Amino acid sequence: MITRFRLLVTEPLDGAANMALDEALLLSRLRHQGPPTLRFFAWAPPTVSLGYGQRLDGRIDLDEARALGIGLVRRQTGGSAILHEGPDLEITYSVAASAGDFEGAGDLLETYRWIGAGLQAGLAALGAPVEMVPVQPSDPAAMPAFCFARTGSFELEVEGKKLVGSAQRRQGAAFLQHGAIMLGADPARLRRVFPGEGDPLEGMTTLEATLGRRPSFDEAVAALSAGFRQAHGLALEGGELSAEETELAGSLARDKYGTHDWTWSGRAPRALTIV
């Protein structure tokens, strides 16, 4: 059986709009109103995204981030913070699907492995010698502030250095996973935003460092899409948001992801997420 997914490639959006759109895709799939979706996107302006349960405890220098024109948003998924630098330095992906959309979609670790296999094939097509390494998740009691400094199951690494940072949220029978793939990096900006993390590049790498060149956002989209087709025989069909998804994303951006209560404390109006 050929698994069919909608492929969305969206223009760069701000933090609230990006995270609202991802949750709208999750809720749409949970309600059986929209198809399973693979999305590639970027950020404008550059934005720090916080993990769902991450505390703002001083390890992220918010004053420096504001001075650099960097936004702040809290994700629906877990993990630690990521500095999303925009399409010149990063490509972000998300997968919104539910149990039955592919073999193993109902299992947390199997979905990590399935998505990782698609990403691995795409990155290999770019020339990156990526390995998918089963590892133990980081100890929550010692969780670093910077996502690429922590570990999770089925990491994608090059010579022991993390290339992709991913996180997942499961709701009912559906799940949302998204992650960042570093095309390149600006170490000085990372150090200013995450001053307590030592060398933020110590345990991570970028495609530029791996390949000796920096792929463009569009080149990465093409390769990663082909990787999912190759790894899983996936039928990726270009599509658009439905009117309902567009309306829901707008409501979530305005009333949840764009609010101080959600960004600082993780509190959101419950009415927005009732299924």
Tell me, yes or no, if 147 is annotated catalytic: yes
pLDDT at 197 (0 to 100) = 64
Given CATH 1.10.10.10, say whether it is the number of domain 4-272: no
Please state the rounded mean pLDDT for residues 118-144.
78
State pLDDT tens for residues 36-57: 999 999 999 999 999 998 988 8
* pLDDT > 70? residue 60: yes
Q: Mean pLDDT of all residues in the chain? A: 89
pLDDT at 274 (0 to 100) = 52
Domain range annotation of the chain: 4-272
Q: How many helices (H) and strands (E) does the chain have?
A: 8, 12
pLDDT at 89 (0 to 100) = 97
State pLDDT tens for residues 244-271: 999 999 999 999 999 999 999 888 776 5
pLDDT at 1 (0 to 100) = 58
The Cα–Cα gap between 256 and 42 comes to 20
State pLDDT tens for residues 71-106: 999 999 988 899 999 999 999 999 999 999 999 999
pTM of the model: 0.91
Q: Which residues contact 247 (CB under 8 A, 6 or more apart)?
A: none
State whether residue 269 is helix, strand or coil. Answer: coil
Q: Please, where are the H alpha helices in 148-242? A: 187-193, 207-211, 217-232
pLDDT at 154 (0 to 100) = 77
State pLDDT tens for residues 191-218: 999 997 677 777 889 999 999 999 999 9
pLDDT at 145 (0 to 100) = 44
State pLDDT tens for residues 133-189: 886 554 444 444 444 333 347 789 999 899 998 889 999 999 999 999 999 999 999
Catalytic: which of 17, 117, 119, 147? 147
Residue from 129, 110, 244 nearest 177 by CA: 110
Asked whether the bond before 187 is cis by omega within 30 degrees of 0, the reply is: no
Assess contact for 206 and 163: CB atoms under 8 A.
Answer: yes
Q: Please, where are the H alpha helices in 53-164? A: 62-67, 108-125
The Cα–Cα gap between 272 and 275 comes to 9
pLDDT at 131 (0 to 100) = 94
Residue from 51, 97, 110 nearest 77 by CA: 51
